[in-house]
Chain A
Amino acid sequence: MAPKKKGGDSPKAEPAAGAAAGPAADAMVDGEADDDEEEVEQGNKRDGADVSKVTDFVEQKELDSAKASKALASITAADEVDRAAERERERELAAVVIDQADVVMIATEMELDKDVAERTLREHKGDVVAALNTLVAA
């Protein structure tokens, strides 16, 4: 187990309602005790029934991992298609020849990050006027 850096000392300390009501510092520490099952279960054993009422924590049944991973797999497959298209697009963009002076100009005039300016310029095949026209129309 990792050393519990952020003293989620005992589940009892968690606010039962309105976690945000307490002083920020306390809430920051307490609100974080989080969902670490083992911790809470231990807590229940240690402190008896009261604590389980306070936290309303119910012991978890093991989930069917076969079904779970199937569901996850279908999602990741869909993501993979998106990502491949995205990578292809990135490659195209990287090939565009641009003038750094144009990037600086776009970044200053439109008050943008250089990354964003450069990307817009690449998306417009290095045509600074076209890039600016798009930005102005945004």
Chain B
Amino acid sequence: MTSTRENGLPSKEAGLFKQIVKHYETKQYKKGIKAADTVLKKFPDHGETLSMKGLILNCVDRKAEAYELVRKGVKMDIKSHVCWHVYGLLYRSDREYLQAIKCYRGALRHDPDNMQILRDLSMLQVQMRDLEGFVQTRQHLLTLKPTNKNNWFTFAVAAHLMNRYDKAVNIVKAHEDTLEGTPENDYEHSEMLLYKNMLLEEDGQLQEALDHLESCEKDIVDRLFWLEKRAQLLRQLNRHADAEPLYRQLLKRNPEHVGYHAGLQACVLGAGRAIENWMPEEVDEATEAKLKVLYAELQHHHPKSTVCRRLPLDFARDGAHFRIACKTYILPPLRKGVPSLFADLKPLYRSKPKAEVLGAILEEWLKSLEADGKLPGESRHEMPTVIMWVRALLAQHYDQVGESARALAQIDLAIQHTPTLLDLYMLKARMYKHAGALLQASECMNLARQMDLADRYINTKATRYMLRANQVDEAQKTIALFTKDGDQKSNLFDMQCMWYELEIGQAYCRLARTDASHYGRALKQFTSVDKHFTDIIEDQFDFHTYCIRKMTLRAYVNMLRMEDTVHGHAYYVRAAMGAIEVYIALVDKPKQDAAAAAAADESQMSAGERKKLESKKRKAEAKAKAEAEEAKAKAAVAAKAEKGAKGNKGKPDKPVDEDPEGAALASVDDPLEKASVFLRTLQQHAPKNLRTHTLACALALRKKRYLLALRALRRAVALAPADPDVHTATVEFLLEMDKEAAILPPTIARVLEANRAAIGAPPGKSLEELNKAFLLKAEGAPAAVLAAAALQLQIAPAQKDAAKALVTSLDPSKLSLALAVRAHTLLATSFGDAAAAEAFGAKVRARYPLADYFQPPEVLSQGIQDGKGASE
């Protein structure tokens, strides 16, 4: 379309211009630049040539020049769609999609029917999920060129994404009607039909979907999917008798598919819902009886299937039935020696009676084996390994029900039996971990690692356990044993190794409580995880065209939906919450330090001493800052040197990490703003997570955005009104409000009054009453008692002793380790009563004798040294 007259070049230069475009397309960038220079010599202000030259420079990594040229090009020829398009392409290559969309719109103003630009625009719109814009652009493209199949299907997907199922079905139908004779490509035709079926099903038209599926049986290539879908639709339409044989047929293909089992069960029970994991309370007697018969039959038909033996454990409610089912399921892998057996039994511990039966069975077996080497009721002698595996299982059982001492004793016996089996050491390490002995756990896991240095799994485990014990240096050395040689530092980042980044980030967070310089390192790790998720979002871009062309529409739509919710993934949530906490700590820390200094000042320090201390502190701060700068400069120099070295070898350059220690991240001016960015993503993608809202409240209070805090509280209360954290957040919010009451703008005060009831604090009810009511309702639940006690101290400092009595009266044997730690810290810090804390700690020590936290300091330091000795 760029004819000579349009872009204002005489024919010779116009020819050259066409060549530039061609060179660009064939990636002959040098030739392209040369041709562009020739044109520009004669017409230095020719906009489209300037733009094209810029675009080519962008490809050879001369970004700054590229932007300059392209901007100049647009300025010179502001009415040229070519210039605008190039500008958009430039932004797109830098992933600045919103800017790129603006540029494309600029281009379309001058050439509204340019299909190339419309297509580019539509891809950015779907990437940015501007779905309305996407529909419009695709509709435009379809009317421009209705003969192109891809235009039809992209438009259908666009309607689908807007949940306009009828529209989407119509579009597919319209295309279908034009097809004549046999389809050219079986697979694509089949995919198209299945996509239509997906639309019908999602629209809730199950009967139509079933009819459609049955009518196109012979055209579907994916036979398995066809069977599965038909069985599912029949079941959902309550045609259980028709669905049952299909599920049995599917089970014949794959008897280990839990979904097929759930489907078959629903058919046999005549239930509307297929349940993969039965909860004990969901099963009634009639259900159990029916399923029992079914599984006796299935076990007979599929004697090798593990799932057929495992599922009865879930739905068995009768003790005797459960016992038999246990034996049937556990014995074969026990005799075989399957180390992961317990992992498959663990879900059963949700039911206490089942846990008890399991323990009783294992104890019985062990007794019988100890006595005569036989299992109860069996005549043959078991292999010698069986008793060892029974001990391992029993140890894990004790561990699971919280009896660490018995667990460790049992696992030690197993280790005595076979000291060379590293799985046992791994189990022992886990038991230490559950007992709160993180250092011993790490040591034990490292011992296991040394038994098989070629095993990546155990190496990973050992690293993780070291990080849990805050042994960061050891962990880094250990994980490096399995990273690529030469670039250990960036390798884990490049491999998007998120579990590691999260664990080390959290380890730094713990270390930062005593040494604030670790906050930067923690932030560094959390932002790395954030970057991985940005990349995951980014990665979908190429599929917008690819999937349509390949007609994998079902997979494409599912992929888009997955990307829409990917930030709700547990890894992202952990990273974002970690980052928010660090930012909050960075804000709180100086305040806390100042408060501590003031307290010390009041008590004893003279003015001279205080001055000395302050100047010392300032010096230290200045020194830290200088060190950070120096490190940065050093890193830059090192990076440059590296770059040079690499350049010599002709390897592609890697972007240099200018802040490897995260010092710059930790010294931002507006930590709360940075935290808010993470928070907004969480609010959008993890709204069901309570901590999202309690963190939102904490953040908003620090920003003095009281209405945002109020909104966060309302959301939290809606999720879990009786949660201690929510109660704490509510009371702390109200305390702050009381303090600010005098200076609160009247509008805000009115909104606050109107919403008090919604956060469980109706006007007129004092905070003390509120706290008392909460305590009463909690009926002694330890977490609630702790929260109430801590708040009591804040609400009425005068009644300190009553609040303290709440804590000290807690029964340590009923506390989880984490709560015991919290109670102890509360006594030691908030109440400032070292004696009470020590007395309480002694009681807890009796319950958790191994826990690091409650060890006297000298024992712990001894333990650390031992640990180091062992790891070397």
Contacts and interface: CB of A to CB of B under 8 A. Distances in A.
Are A and B interaction partners?
A: yes
Interface of A: 1-9, 14-15, 19-20, 24-25, 27-28, 31-37, 55-65, 67-69, 71-72, 74-75, 105, 109-111, 128-129, 132-133, 135-138
A114 B473 CA distance: 49
Contacts of A33: 545
Contacts of B25: 4, 6-9
Contacts of A56: 185, 188, 549-550
B26 A9 contact: yes
22 contacts: A1-B1, A2-B116, A5-B55, A6-B25, A6-B89, A7-B25, A20-B540, A27-B542, A33-B545, A36-B115, A56-B185, A56-B550, A58-B185, A63-B152, A65-B146, A67-B178, A110-B708, A132-B747, A133-B754, A135-B711, A136-B710, A137-B755
B143 A109 contact: no
Contacts of B1: 1-3
Contact of A72 (B85, B142, B708, B754): B142
B751 A68 contact: no
Contacts of A61: 178-180
Interface in B278-336: none
Contacts of A14: 546
Nearest to A2: B116
A7 B26 CA distance: 6
A34 B174 contact: no
B622 to A, nearest CB: 35
A14 B550 CA distance: 12
Given A35-B150, A56-B550, A58-B185, A109 B705 contact: yes
A4 B115 CA distance: 11
A45 to B, nearest CB: 17
Nearest to B550: A56
B85 A5 contact: yes
B120 A68 contact: no
Interface of B: 1-2, 18, 21, 24-27, 55, 59, 82, 85-86, 89, 92-93, 114-117, 119-120, 123, 139, 142-143, 146-152, 167, 170-171, 173-175, 177-180, 184-185, 188, 538-543, 545-546, 548-550, 676, 705-708, 710-711, 714, 745, 747-748, 750-751, 754-755, 758
A2 B707 CA distance: 53
A119 to B, nearest CB: 17
A7 B707 contact: no
Contacts of A34: 119, 150, 545, 549
A68 B139 CA distance: 12
A129 B546 CA distance: 50
Nearest to B26: A9
Given A61-B180, A135-B711, A128 B747 contact: yes
Nearest to B758: A137
B248 to A, nearest CB: 35
Contact of B755 (A2, A62, A136): A136
A132 B142 CA distance: 43
Contacts of B755: 133, 136-137
A92 to B, nearest CB: 21
Contact of B708 (A25, A57, A109): A109
Contact of B747 (A19, A68, A129): A129
Contacts of B175: 63
A136 B676 CA distance: 17
Nearest to B48: A3
Contacts of B705: 109-111
B710 to A, nearest CB: 5
Nearest to B141: A35
Given A7-B27, A129-B750, A63 B178 contact: yes
Contacts of B86: 5
A62 B707 CA distance: 59
B170 A5 contact: no
Contact of A35 (B114, B151, B188): B151
Q: Which of B93, B120, B149, B175 has the most CB of A within 10 A?
A: B149
A105 B89 CA distance: 39
Contacts of B170: 71, 74-75
Contacts of A1: 1
Contacts of A4: 21, 25, 116
Given A60-B147, A136-B751, A110 B707 contact: yes
A32 B545 contact: yes
Contact of B21 (A3, A8, A27, A75): A3
A40 B117 CA distance: 18
Nearest to B173: A71
In the A-B complex, the 7 residue pairs with the closest CB atoms? A7-B25, A35-B150, A31-B542, A19-B542, A3-B21, A71-B174, A63-B178
A3 B2 contact: yes
A5 B758 contact: no
B100 to A, nearest CB: 12
A31 B25 CA distance: 13
Given A37-B148, A61-B178, A68-B174, A2 B754 contact: no
Given A3-B21, A20-B542, A137-B758, A35 B549 contact: yes
A86 B142 CA distance: 25
Given A9-B25, A61-B180, 5 more contacts: A6-B25, A7-B24, A62-B147, A132-B747, A136-B751
A19 B544 CA distance: 10
Contacts of A24: 538
Nearest to B180: A61
A136 B541 contact: no
Nearest to A105: B747
Nearest to A25: B93
A133 B707 CA distance: 9
Residue from the set B1, B707, B748 with the largest chain A CB neighbour count within 10 Å: B707
A113 B774 CA distance: 38
B125 to A, nearest CB: 15
Contacts of B754: 129, 133
B715 to A, nearest CB: 9
Nearest to B150: A35
Interface centre among A6, A8, A25, A135 (most CB of B within 10 A): A6
Contact of B120 (A32, A74, A128): A32
A87 B188 CA distance: 42
Contacts of A105: 745, 747
A136 B177 contact: no
Nearest to B55: A5
A20 B549 contact: no
Nearest to A31: B542
A120 to B, nearest CB: 13
Contacts of A69: 146
Contacts of B179: 61
A9 B706 CA distance: 57
A31 B170 CA distance: 29
B542 A3 contact: no
Contacts of A15: 542, 546
A20 B708 contact: no
A59 B150 CA distance: 12
A6 B90 CA distance: 10
Given A56-B550, A72-B139, A135 B707 contact: yes
Nearest to A102: B747
Contacts of A64: 177-178
Given A20-B539, A31-B546, A67 B177 contact: yes
Contacts of B116: 2, 4-5, 36
